């Protein structure tokens, strides 16, 4: 398994399911809820550290193995990223490369691999269905059934409590985490109000043990998450301003509107790592227009961002 790299700050989700002293118990509960099992031995849980390629300093992914039979790669998100199947493909390829001995790759005997599962736990404010599936094949320029097929599916579970997903009934920790986020979301950036919200959660028995042990640390993690989201927003506004200035310099009457679009394109591409095709669809623009704007700004890569 990959060695931990602590240059990343944990989100509350990652701390609860990866770093906290109760992480193995929480992961086993999550596994039982996902697969309908009733395992009790936390020694079956093995933590997997993935190098995060989306968030610059905030770690939101949780990966773990159960015995030598299955590996689960998951990420917590507040926005839906259509490129998750590509990222998951990269993740699992790296893990298999580490797990499979070099000699076995060339052996005449079939090497048994752990079965993978790919999950996203969504609790953003934008309305999304209770569950959906993102497919790698949706990103292909054309289908490839005739000469070999590659597919990877990511199960996206909406853990907002109003969606009442059955997983929340099976996993008390996950349900309480969702309730905790709902109570604290509106206080992002206000430390004193977050502290009061944490105390309120303890009184209402929402993650009471966890918050009782780590109240100050949790508030700091929430502030770091808020700072990260604010940083992304500032980058977006700066990019829009650059686009507007460029539009005015060129004397275009539509410079302001174009500047906003160009700013969004830059942020979607460099910060959120959306593909040209995904940006075009999101902004209802032609792919060639998006590609031209990125090329003019000198940030277009030959390969798709991941």
Question: Which of 137, 139, 129 lies closest to 305 in space, CA to CA?
Answer: 139
Q: Could you tell me if residue 99 is inside a domain?
A: yes
Last residue of a domain, one of 153, 171, 187: 187
Q: How many domains does the chain have?
A: 2
d(CA 103, CA 119): 31
Last residue of a domain, one of 125, 158, 187: 187
One domain for residues 174 and 50: yes
d(CA 237, CA 38): 49
**Cβ pair 89, 139 in contact under 8 A:** no
Boundaries of domain holding 152: 9-187
Instruction: Examine the pLDDT at 219 and tell me if it is beyond 50.
Output: yes
d(CA 8, CA 49): 11
Q: Could you tell me if residue 222 is inside a domain?
A: no
One domain for residues 180 and 245: no
pLDDT-derived band of residue 6, with 50, 70 and 90 as boundaries? very low
Alpha-carbon 39 to chain mean position: 27
User: Does pTM top 0.85 for this prediction?
Assistant: no
pLDDT per position as a tens digit, 110-152:
999 999 999 999 999 899 999 999 999 999 988 777 677 899 9
One domain for residues 236 and 177: no
One domain for residues 153 and 251: no
Q: What are phi and psi of 2, to 5 degrees?
A: -65, 145
Q: Could you tell me if residue 56 is inside a domain?
A: yes
One domain for residues 45 and 134: yes
**Cβ pair 175, 205 in contact under 8 A:** no
Q: What is the pLDDT of residue 298?
A: 81
Q: Could you tell me if residue 208 is inside a domain?
A: no
One domain for residues 172 and 249: no
Compute the Cα dihedral for 277, 282, 285, 290 and give only its sign: negative
Q: Could you tell me if residue 200 is inside a domain?
A: no
HSE-up (13 A, CA, CB side) for residue 245: 6
Instruction: Examine the pLDDT at 202 and tell me if it is beyond 60.
Output: yes
One domain for residues 22 and 161: yes
């Amino acid at each position: 398994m990959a060695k931990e790299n602590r240059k990343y700050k944990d989100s509350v989700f990652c701390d609860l399911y990866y770093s906290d002293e109760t992480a193995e118990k929480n992961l086993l509960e999550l596994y039982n809820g996902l697969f309908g099992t009733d395992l009790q031995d936390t020694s079956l849980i093995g933590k997997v550290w993935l190098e995060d390629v989306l968030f610059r300093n905030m770690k939101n992914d949780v990966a773990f193995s159960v015995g030598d039979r299955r590996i689960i790669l998951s990420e917590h998100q507040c926005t839906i990223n259509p490129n998750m199947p590509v990222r998951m493909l990269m993740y699992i390829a790296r893990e298999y490369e580490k797990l499979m001995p070099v000699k076995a790759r060339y052996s005449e005997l079939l090497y048994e691999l752990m079965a993978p599962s790919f999950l996203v736990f969504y609790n953003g404010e934008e309305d999304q269905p209770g569950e959906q599936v993102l497919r790698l094949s949706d990103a292909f320029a054309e289908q490839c059934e005739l000469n070999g097929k590659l597919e990877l599916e990511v199960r996206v579970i909406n853990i907002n409590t109003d969606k009442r997903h059955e997983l929340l009934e099976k996993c008390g920790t996950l349900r309480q985490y969702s309730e905790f986020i709902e109570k604290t979301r509106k206080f992002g950036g206000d430390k004193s109000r977050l502290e009061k919200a944490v105390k309120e959660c303890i009184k209402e028995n929402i993650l009471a043990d966890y918050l009782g042990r780590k109240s100050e640390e949790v508030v700091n993690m929430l502030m770091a998450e808020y700072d990260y989201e604010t940083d992304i927003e500032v980058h977006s506004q700066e990019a829009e301003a650059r686009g507007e200035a460029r539009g005015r310099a060129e004397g275009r009457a539509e410079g302001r509107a174009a500047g906003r679009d160009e700013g969004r394109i830059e942020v979607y591409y460099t910060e959120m790592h959306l593909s040209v095709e995904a940006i075009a669809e999101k902004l209802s623009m032609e792919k060639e227009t998006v590609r031209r704007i990125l090329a003019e700004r000198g940030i277009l890569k030959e390969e798709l961002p991941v």
